[in-house]
Amino acid sequence: MVCFLKKKTLNPKPFASGGGIIRDSTGQCIRAFFSFYGDGTIPEAELRVILDGIILAQRLGLSVLWVESDSTLAIHYITKGGGPWHSQVTLRHIRHLLALDRDTITHIFREGNQVADLLASEGWDRRCYYEYSSQDLPRRHRSLVQIDRFGLPTVRGL
């Protein structure tokens, strides 16, 4: 089974939160999550939410992952190396769990990542970790899942 993982972080300084959605190969939601990370930088939160998503996907028994992130910097750190010294433990953990010869990690524009953006905001508002199953996903989230799933155009507010 192929899994689509979309993630997003929100960082109104000095705190960070993130959210992601696990989808099947047709774009249907399997599970969604958000987390509040507290102190941290945007790149740290980007990496932490990717790690949280990979761990969740593997806990759900998904064996082939397609990770989508709107952070080209996080993707570069994971696939090419580098990154801040304080993120190296997280990066090693991601690389250990993600098999780059089997799994895929790609960039997605923020507009195609609306559900994850909404989840990151929810993490900020609720200041905790939480998971939604596909059945208990709120109506607004489900609407964005369908918009993203069918690639419908949307306009981001200014």
DSSP secondary structure code for residue 128 in this structure: S
Dihedrals phi, psi of 112, to nearest 5 degrees: -90, 5
CATH no. of 2-149: 3.30.420.10
d(C-alpha 17, C-alpha 3), whole Å: 22
pLDDT at 34: 95
29-39, strands of its sheet edge to edge:
104-107, 64-69, 2-10, 15-23, 29-39, 130-133
pLDDT at 13: 53
Q: For Cα atoms 54, 41, 15, give the angle at the middle one, nearest 5 degrees.
A: 95
Q: What Rg do the C-alpha atoms of the chain give, in angstroms?
A: 14
pLDDT at 66: 92
Q: What is the pTM of this model?
A: 0.86
Are 119 and 23 within 8 A, CB to CB? no
Mean pLDDT per 10-residue section of the chain, whose length is 158 residues? 44 74 92 90 89 96 91 94 91 92 87 86 91 95 88 64
pLDDT at 30: 95
